[in-house]
Copies of this chain bind each other. A is one copy, B any other.
Amino acid sequence: MQDIPRATVGRLARYLQGLEELARSTVSSEDIAAAVGVNAAQVRRDLSYLGHQGVRGVGYDSESLRSAILREMGLIDTVGVAIVGAGHLGQALAGYRGFEDRGFLVAGLYDVDPDKVGTAIHDIPIRHIDQLLGDGRNGLFQIAIIATPAEAAHEVLARLADAGIRSILNFAPAVLRPPVSVEVRNVDLSTELQILSFYRSRK
């Protein structure tokens, strides 16, 4: 199997939502494109990575396309996620509907604040960060999100790596240097605002 471009992977789940919204038994690439707001050729190219799913002259069968996407993305079984840092961002992420829709289960929030530890947000328990290592090793989660202040991020990364977690999404504004076996993706909330602002001023 050839490998699927990252950009495509990022869109597949959206096609799934688009299919749901359209709620038709057959859909064309145009339909999907309109529903999720991308180019139709893009949709066809993306879906072609799943093998031949469409019928020429007709379109795609919603139900089998749905299964094909789910299968390809490994969305069949749920992936456990730990959110480290139970501040506003951590809580926002814990309540984000998008995650469960896409096969993720937030297994726990981790924090150092004794007032928070022991409580729960959106039914997700807040545990002390010292439990991170044990919980990770016990397979409670496979992926972690760092939503702490920048100062704490390095320490958290080290603990996660220790716990054998190899996929980390970092929202803290810090430059992390992960060991080679760990993949860290950084999300900078201000970058997009920056870009928007920049081009606004020069049009």
A residues with CB within 8 A of B: 3-4, 6, 9-10, 12-14, 17, 35-37, 73-74, 79, 81, 87-89, 91-93, 95-99, 101-104, 142-143, 145, 166-169, 173, 175-177, 183, 185, 187-202
- Shortest distance between the CB of A114 and any CB in chain B (Å): 21
Task: Look across to chain B and name the residue whose beta carbon is closest to the beta carbon of A198.
Answer: B9
Pair A197/B74 contact, Cβ less than 8 Å = yes
Pair B198/A98 contact, Cβ less than 8 Å = no
Give the residues in chain B near A92, CB-CB below 8 Å. Answer: 87-89, 91-92
- CA–CA, A188 and B13, complex, Å: 11
Pair A37/B183 contact, Cβ less than 8 Å = no
Give the residues in chain B near A187, CB-CB below 8 Å. Answer: 189, 192
Pair B99/A198 contact, Cβ less than 8 Å = no
* Given A189-B96, A190-B104, A196:B10 Cβ within 8 A: no
Give the residues in chain B near A98, CB-CB below 8 Å. Answer: 173, 188-190
- CA–CA, A42 and B17, complex, Å: 37
From A183, A192, A201, residue with most partner B Cβ within 10 Å: A192
- Shortest distance between the CB of A126 and any CB in chain B (Å): 14
- CA–CA, A191 and B92, complex, Å: 16
